[in-house]
Amino acid sequence: MKPDRTQALWFFLLACLLAGSTARARAATDEAEQPAPPYLADILTDAGKSKERCYANKDSAGVQAFENGWLLTQFSPDREKDYLYAIIKGDKPHWFKVKSEYKDGMVVDCAGRVNSKNDHLLRWGFRWWYCSDKAAKVRAGLGEPEALETAAWVQYQRWSKGLLAAGLPAAAPDAEGRFHSLVNVFLKGAPKGSRGAARWNVVDDNSMAARGCRTECNAVWFYAVTGETGKRPNPVFEKGSASCAVRHPYEDFMKNRSVCNLCLEP
């Protein structure tokens, strides 16, 4: 009996579909299995398995440096559930978290809770939390603020044992608007818990250059430009990256990726 041509055609199409599905699955698996860069692997040794892809929030993140740590704002997509994290260094690094209840126009008295010469450095939601009655442990752990809050393209990724936040500015940007050191931190038990242990490290632009990274070509090494008009390109980054064969603006870091990275260049 001669084979039915229609049946043969269906078998051929089915084989093509299966081959395509297998190729896509293999590509997805290969991407999912990409190792974290060394400066992140160092703090992810007890993180478990990644539960989502890495991304930078579309509204960037607020970060403020203190004597012994940082305050971090993680904005929600609808801005209805913004969370504040206090990341405290020391012999036993740890973190605290609260849901922000700050509203525009709030007046927060911080007398007696921050040195008067540093009072002007505390603003908005960070001031609301740091100066509150319930933040005594946060104040004691962080110490005094060292600079104003700055906006940055911090990347987040949930793991089975906590939350990774990559690319917090270690200090305020320089006069040109560039960061020279970025902090990576793993918050054990986050985002579900309200406190826990932390692991962190600092990566500077010199060590990244030794790895073949041109930080001037990656927007995470520059402050995020925000305001009433929303996100817009950072002019310092635009100028500095003009000589880059491949440049990575903030949009590239907002795209979901299998691993976080402070440098998207090869």
pLDDT for residue 231: 63
How is residue 155 written in tokens? 């990347």
- Report for 5-14, 22-31, 70-79, 82-91: range of highest mean pLDDT: 82-91
Which of 78-87, 117-126, 199-208 has the weakest average pLDDT?
A: 78-87
CB-based contact 87:191 (threshold 8 Å):
no
- How many CB atoms neighbour CB 58 within 10 A? 13
- The pLDDT, as a whole number, for residue 6 is 61
Joined tokens for residue 133: 């009655």
pLDDT at residue 29 above 70?
Answer: no
Q: 176 burial class (0-12, 13-18, 19+ CB within 10 angstroms)?
A: exposed
**Looking at residue 18, what is its pLDDT?**
52
Q: What is the pTM of this model?
A: 0.85
Residue with token string 């918050």: 187
Per-residue tokens: 115: 């040195």
- Residues 136, 124: contact at Cβ < 8 Å? no
The per-residue pLDDT of the chain, averaged, comes to: 87
Average pLDDT over residues 172-187: 94
Q: Are the C-beta atoms of residues 222 and 178 closer than 8 Å to each other? A: yes
DSSP 248: B
Find the mean pLDDT for residues 182-191: 97
Q: What pLDDT, on the 0 to 100 scale, is given for residue 195? A: 97
For residue 100, which of 70, 135, 143 has the smallest C-alpha distance?
A: 135
Q: What is the pLDDT of residue 81?
A: 82
- Rounded mean pLDDT, 129-150: 97
Q: Which of 251, 223, 237 is nearest to 61 (CA)?
A: 223
In sequence order, the 6+-apart residues with CB closer than 8 A to the CB of 248 are 217, 218, 219, 264, 265
pLDDT recorded at residue 228 = 53
Query: 100 phi and psi, to 5 degrees?
Result: -70, 135
Residues facing residue 29 across a β-bridge: none
